[in-house]
Amino acid sequence: MGPFELNTTISNLRNLRESDLSAYDAVYLGNIYCRIYEDNFLERLDDLEEGIALVKGQGLRAYVTSYAAPRNDVLPKVQKALETAAAAGADAVEVHNLGVLRMVHEQFPGMPAHIGGFANVYTDAGAEVLKEYGAVRFTPNYEISLDEVGAITRGVGMPAELVVHGKMPLGVSDYCFLLEYEQKWPEKCPTLCQKNLFLKQGDWAMRSVGKGVLSGKDVCMLEHLPALIAAGHNVFRIEAAYETPAYRLNIARIYRAALERAAAGDRTEDESAWSTIREHTAVGLCNGFYFGRTGAEYVGKRPQSAVAC
Instruction: Determine the Cα–Cα distance for residues 27 and 295; give it in Å rounded to an integer.
Output: 26
Here's the x/- map for other proteins, 241-280, by CB under 8 A: it reads as: ----------------------------------------
Which of these segments, 189-197, 236-244, 257-265, 273-281, binds other proteins (CB under 8 A)? 189-197
Helix axes 124-132, 146-156, angle to 10 degrees: 40
Measured between alpha carbons, how far is residue 123 from residues 101, 235, 288, 292 in Å?
Answer: 18, 19, 18, 15
In 3D space, the residue among 73, 76, 81 whose CA is nearest the CA of residue 44 turns out to be: 81
Instruction: Determine the Cα–Cα distance for residues 180 and 63; give it in Å rounded to an integer.
Output: 34
Residue 157 sits in the site that holds other proteins (CB under 8 A):
no
In 3D space, the residue among 225, 230, 220 whose CA is nearest the CA of residue 299 turns out to be: 220
Residue 227 sits in the site that holds other proteins (CB under 8 A):
no
Residue 206 sits in the site that holds other proteins (CB under 8 A):
yes
Residue 193 sits in the site that holds other proteins (CB under 8 A):
no
Residue 220 sits in the site that holds other proteins (CB under 8 A):
no
Task: Out of 17, 200, 278, 302, name the contact with other proteins by CB under 8 A.
Answer: 200
Residues 108-127 that bind other proteins (CB under 8 A): 118, 120, 122-127
With vertex at residue 81, the alpha carbon angle to CA 77 and CA 86, rounded to the nearest 5 degrees, is 145
**Minimum Å distance from CB 290 to other proteins?**
12
In 3D space, the residue among 77, 71, 8, 92 whose CA is nearest the CA of residue 41 turns out to be: 77
CB within 8 Å of 187: residues ≥ 6 apart: 195
**Minimum Å distance from CB 56 to other proteins?**
29
Residue numbers of the site for other proteins (CB under 8 A)?
68-75, 97-103, 118, 120, 122-130, 133, 141-144, 148, 151-152, 155, 168, 170-175, 177, 181, 185, 195-202, 204, 206, 208, 213, 215, 282, 289, 292-296, 309
